[in-house]
Amino acid sequence: MSTEQLLNECLVILRSIKDDRKSLEKLLGFMKEEFVENNEINLFEIPDYKLQVPPKYRNLISEVAGNMSAGLISFVNTETLEVDGMPKEIYSDLPLEEDDEEYEEEMTDTDTYSDEIFSFRKWKDFITIEPLESSEAYRIMEYFVDNLPKGHAKNILNNAINGKKPFANFNNFIHQSEYRELWFEFKDRMYEKYVIDSYLYKITDKG
């Protein structure tokens, strides 16, 4: 059947219900859901989880979530609520505490972390927060795609995250799309929720 024949068939059905308001509304809803791409994600359904915790912890939650998103390890001073961040590869190369002085002498003034790399070791009490595992980061990305409206973008992203190199393919598309800012907001809220659910109790128990 040609496209013209298909169109005529559709018009016949449409004419048959032209005076039926309920049927027209039902048809319109179906057509919008199936064929009209909505450029908005209803983030109002995803609460700002920071508002559920005491105000003094909210900046800490945002900072740790930001470090986590960037792949940094966070060190949280449970007395002052100060936060330090460090790339995982640098942390894994740190010497034992008794070797700190010798190691610091080898650091140059141009080293990015030379002034603060050992600051967390001077704290009386702190907790260490690792970046997300790739499987957990993937679930956040998958949840975002699940919340997109039906349409071209959702189809592309579904294919991206279910194929090879899901993170790279997802980012290649999302950063050039109209969903870029929505993704950042969504991701921030999900990372903040993870920090609250997994670590806040450790901070408040010691604080």
Tokens of 47: 């609460």
Phi, psi of 18 (to 5 degrees): -60, -20
State how far the Cα of 133 lies from the Cα of 97, in Å rounded to an integer: 27
Residue of 190, 32, 105, 204 lying closest to 182 (CA atoms):
190
Residue 187 and residue 69 in contact, taking contact as beta carbons nearer than 8 Å: yes
Higher-scoring residue by pLDDT: 89, 193: 193
C-alpha torsion sign, points 179, 184, 189, 194: positive
Q: Which residues sit opposite 75 in a β-bridge?
A: 84, 128
The per-residue pLDDT for range 23-50, each reduced to its tens digit, is: 877 777 777 666 655 545 565 577 788 9
Residue 21 pLDDT class (50, 70, 90 cuts): confident
Query: Could you report the per-residue pLDDT of 162-192, keeping only the tens digit for each?
Result: 999 999 999 999 999 988 988 999 999 999 9
Q: Residue 170: what pLDDT?
A: 96
Burial of 171 (0-12, 13-18, 19+ CB in 10 A): middle
Q: Using CA atoms, how far apart are residues 64 and 49, in angstroms rounded to an integer?
A: 14
**pLDDT band at residue 122 using 50, 70 and 90 as cut-offs:** confident
Q: What is the pLDDT of residue 123?
A: 87
